[in-house]
Amino acid sequence: MGIKTRKKRIYAEREKIRHTTHWDMDYLPRELVARQYLQSPPGGGKTAPRKEDGRQQRRLGLMLIGAGLALFAGAVLLGRFF
């Protein structure tokens, strides 16, 4: 008789994956995690956007909100006529 092989199943800790936000703390050695946290971030440490970019994004956001409100008002007006 031949050797029976069982169906391979991948075991995943679904509850742990669902509730764990920092997988590196659970699966990597402590020394490696500590070394990663001590290194400087890639890109020269730039974290905050320049002021011009922030102003431009704010302006774009306000324009999009205005466009959304105009579309909503148009939909309400069209709804009153039908």
pLDDT digits (tens, 9 = 90+) for 43-77: 665 566 566 778 889 999 999 999 999 999 999 99
CA 79 – CA 73 distance, rounded (Å): 10
The confidence score (pLDDT) of residue 29 equals: 76
CB contact at 8 A, 26 and 16: yes
Task: Tell me which DSSP letter residue 42 carries.
Answer: T
Q: Which residue has the higher pLDDT, 9 or 55?
A: 55
**CB atoms closer than 10 angstroms to residue 49:** 11
pTM for the full predicted model: 0.38
Neighbouring CB atoms inside 10 A of 81's CB total 5
